[in-house]
Amino acid sequence: MQTSYYPTPIMISANGHYPPRSPPPNGLLRRLTHTPRSSVDRNSQIAASAGDNALAEASKHMDLWFCDGSIILRAEDTLFRVHKSQLARHSAFFRDLFSLPQPSADNTSSSPTVVVSNDPTLQIDTTNEVEGCPVLRLHDTAEDVENLLTALYDGPNFGKNDPTDFRMVSGILRLATKYLVDSLRTKALVHLSKAWPTSLKGWDAREDVTRADEMQSGPGMSNIHPSPADVIILAREVNAPSLLPSAFYDLSRYHYTQLFEQDDESGPSIAQLPLSNADLQRLALGKEASQHAITTLIRSMGSHSHPLLLGHHAHSHRSCRRDFSELVALATQHYLFDRERGCTDPLYVAEELGQPFVEVSECEACARALAIWTTRERERMWKMIPLWFRLDV
């Protein structure tokens, strides 16, 4: 039985940084005003036959039109002539579809179409063939179908997980999920996991890339990743829960003004995006939990029972206590500064705590002990993120 990626039985639809210590970059929720390149041969428009409006003003795709193709896919006003064998090889959906009995040539009047089970709007039209090929109308965007077919014929050509790349990959992932193209779905998810990882090591690598990009583009100007809200929406749509923890955590790092107010530069707020009420609630609860994680971290540092204050490692107990007290004060100021703006990043705070101590402390033993402690605390926080946001992963 073919694996379903949907939480309920498949019904093929017819509609088919630098971490923000200060206010994060503008354009968090920027939606690209992307105009796809024209890949349609406007000089090869297919004229409709008399009385037939189904193919009116449809145009051949310039690249994905093979003269020996055996099926024509129509998406919006674009026609793709491709091979049934290629589609069936990769897609269980198309393999099953093409195995259905086809109406005979002398019986088209009584049975003009092959109807896909459970979806009477998805049909192979054998009465209005184009150049001898039956036409299958897809209820997907031409851009997404183009990207899917290109990936099937040439292999996926994913980019750097930036907003433009995300637009392409998300379209491929949606259709690979919808049409059961397992290999392509897996490759798309692996690619997205580089920007939305499941491990702390992967998250740190992602943040290193973001910081390097911001050093080149300037503070607050980095736009290397898409909106985490868009990632959450995609993960829900294609049933990819592994993307959710890092996406929710990233979204929680921004203050409420950026989340809920729109300006000319940042584009639509999340209030205008189709996040469910349940996910908005998860965001609010997780944001509160991340703030609490920082206060818990600071309290544990100020505790007299903290291992760095017991003097087991210190060659100069008084100087180590002084350095450590200054570190606690720095962490407190950092927290208050971020809380005032409604943005918190406990993973970053814990990472930064060890840096100044290593630089100024005269005691190497205490510096090493603090590095070990902060690493352990960050691992603990990372494991708690699904609980903070009430995620079932």
- Whether residue 173 has pLDDT greater than 70: yes
- Whether residue 161 has pLDDT greater than 50: yes
pLDDT at 219: 60
Average pLDDT in the 101-129 region?
A: 58
The first and second tokens of residue 234, run together, are 């995609």
Secondary structure element (H or E) that encloses residue 120, with its range:
strand 119-130
106 falls in which pLDDT band (50, 70, 90)?
A: low
Average pLDDT in the 354-383 region?
A: 76
The first and second tokens of residue 360, run together, are 């100024």
Q: How much of the chain, in percent, has pLDDT values that exceed 70?
A: 62
User: How does 217-240 read in b/e, with b if 16+ C-beta sit within 10 Å?
Assistant: eeeeebbbbbbbbbbbbbbbebeb
Averaged pLDDT of the chain? 76
pLDDT at 270: 64
343 burial via Cβ count (<10 Å: 0-12, 13-18, 19+): buried
Domain positions in the chain = 40-140, 146-280, 282-388
pLDDT at 26: 41
pLDDT at 259: 80
Q: How much of the chain, in percent, has pLDDT values that exceed 90?
A: 44
Average pLDDT in the 21-25 region?
A: 37
pLDDT at 359: 56
State residue 156 phi and psi, 5-degree precision: -70, 140
pTM for this entry: 0.78
Question: Cβ–Cβ contacts within 10 Å for residue 345, how many?
Answer: 25
For residue 101, what is the DSSP state?
P
For residue 316, what is the DSSP state?
S
- Whether residue 140 has pLDDT greater than 70: yes
Average pLDDT in the 63-68 region?
A: 94
Segment among 3-12, 48-57, 195-204, 237-246 with least mean pLDDT:
3-12
3-state secondary structure of 57: coil
Contact 287, 345 (CB under 8 A): no
Q: What is the per-residue pLDDT across 110-121, written as a single tens digit (0 to 9) for each? A: 445 554 545 555
Average pLDDT in the 288-299 region?
A: 86
What is the C-alpha to C-alpha distance for residues 386 and 393, in angstroms, rounded to an integer? 7
For residue 24, what is the DSSP state?
P
- Whether residue 46 has pLDDT greater than 50: no
45 falls in which pLDDT band (50, 70, 90)?
A: very low
95 falls in which pLDDT band (50, 70, 90)?
A: very high
- Order the strands of the 119-130 sheet from edge to edge: 40-46, 58-65, 78-82, 71-75, 133-138, 119-130, 113-116
The first and second tokens of residue 295, run together, are 């206060």
DSSP symbols for 210-269? HHHHHHHH-TT----S--HHHHHHHHHHHT-GGGHHHHHHHHHTS-HHHHH--BTTTB--
State how far the alpha carbon of 62 is from the alpha carbons of 23, 36, 153, in Å: 46, 14, 15
Contact 311, 317 (CB under 8 A): yes
